[in-house]
Amino acid sequence: MSNNILDKIFADKQKELAGTKCNLPLPELKTRIGDQAPVRDVFQALNVGKNSKIIAEIKRRTPFKGELRENFNAAEIAGDYARNGAATLSILTESNYFGSHIGILEEVRPIAPIPLLRKDFICDEYQVYESRAHGADLFLLIATWLDQNQLTDLLSLGKELGLPALVETHNEYDMEKAFEAKASLIGINNRDLTNGKTDLNIARRLIPMALQEPGNTLVCESGISGRKEIEEFEEIGAHAFLIGESLMTSKDIPEKLKELLGNEPTNKS
């Protein structure tokens, strides 16, 4: 077992899951799914219309950068994102390293009428049901960590529940796994989750590869801080951008989001 942060996060997640399953057994979760509103369509959100598509992320802290925002208020941030043009929200729900919890999905859902991505370290079928039961519209699968069978099975279970998965890749091998699993929503993460380093050349290299399979929706993730990068990656084929830190650390979230979308900032008199 290599001693990297990604392995550590997943190991702790698996320990934590045992308790979660006792507190809310699977049959109860399945009952809750029946009470949920219909899933919001992420493919439509990311593909319809001419403007840039941003998946705006709500995260309090990261293991690499620590606390990202003082006076963190998920509901307030969600409202800012939804009003200022975000196409989808990414909501970190991991507690040990990102200081969050799955309840944030339910807090945010009434405020932001757009699809909600549950971003967590998902490795167990229980978590797929859990995502749907708490109001997520899609969930994250990390191809770097999951083996081919896990990835394929979790993706298929999501489809049965009407819940697509964003399959996140970081290299050619991950991309092959995503193709094999029949992923249609593929993320290309410029950040190496084992050490936190970010390199935009990852997307420059992998976007052309991802486009070899027609019909995929491609999301460029991590390290995007300005409009110029968005334009560059749209040009080579990215459909959407998952942006967290540059929004979360910005002094004025609405203005930063408008800038990323290419909407002229409003002059404040």
Distances in Å between the Cα of 132 and the Cα atoms of 20, 136, 177, 235, 260 are 15, 5, 24, 34, 30
Contact predicate 119/92, CB 8 Å: yes
Give residue-wise pLDDT tens across range 20-75.
999 999 999 999 999 999 999 999 999 999 999 999 999 999 988 889 998 899 99
Looking at the annotation, which residues are catalytic? Answer: 57, 59, 119, 168, 189, 221-222
* Helix (H) or strand (E) run with residue 44 in it: helix 42-47
Question: Which pLDDT band, with edges at 50, 70 and 90, does 239 fall under?
Answer: very high
- Rounded to an integer, the average pLDDT of 225-250 is 96
249: in domain: yes
pTM: 0.95
195: in domain: yes
Q: Can you tell me whether residue 196 is helix, strand or coil?
A: coil
Question: Which pLDDT band, with edges at 50, 70 and 90, does 269 fall under?
Answer: very low
- What dihedral do alpha carbons 95, 120, 58, 236 form, nearest 10°? 150
> Would you list the DSSP string of 60-115?
SEETTTEE--TT--HHHHHHHHHHTT-SEEEEE--STTT---THHHHHHTTT--S-
Q: Which residue has the higher pLDDT, 265 or 25?
A: 25
Question: Residue 2 pLDDT more than 70?
Answer: no
Give residue-wise pLDDT tens across range 183-204.
999 999 999 998 889 999 999 9
Interatomic CA distance for residues 191 and 43, integer angstroms: 24
Interatomic CA distance for residues 186 and 237, integer angstroms: 12
202: in domain: yes
Question: Residue 267 pLDDT more than 60?
Answer: no
Q: What is the pLDDT of residue 71?
A: 87
Interatomic CA distance for residues 160 and 14, integer angstroms: 23
Q: Which residues contact 139 (CB under 8 A, 6 or more apart)?
A: 117, 118, 119, 120, 122, 127, 128, 131, 158, 163, 165, 166
Q: Which is nearest to 155 in space by CA: 178, 132, 133, 130?
A: 178
Q: What is the pLDDT of residue 8?
A: 95
104: in domain: yes
Q: Which is nearest to 79 in space by CA: 56, 102, 47, 45?
A: 56
267: in domain: no
176: in domain: yes
Question: Residue 265 pLDDT more than 90?
Answer: no
Q: State which residues form the domain around 165.
A: 5-34+42-261
Distances in Å between the Cα of 188 and the Cα atoms of 18, 110, 168, 175, 251 are 30, 29, 6, 9, 27
266: in domain: no
- Rounded to an integer, the average pLDDT of 205-228 is 96
Mean pLDDT of all residues belonging to the chain: 95
Give residue-wise pLDDT tens across range 89-143.
999 999 999 999 999 999 999 999 999 999 999 999 999 999 999 999 999 999 9
Domain count along the chain = 1
The residues pairing with 218 across neighbouring beta strands, listed in sequence order, are 186
CATH of the domain at 201: 3.20.20.70
242: in domain: yes
Question: Which pLDDT band, with edges at 50, 70 and 90, does 263 fall under?
Answer: confident
Residue burial 7-22, b: 16+ Cβ < 10 Å; e: rest = ebbbeebeeeeeebee
The conformational region for residue 248 under phi > 0 = left, psi -120 to 50 = alpha, else beta, is alpha
Question: Residue 1 pLDDT more than 50?
Answer: no
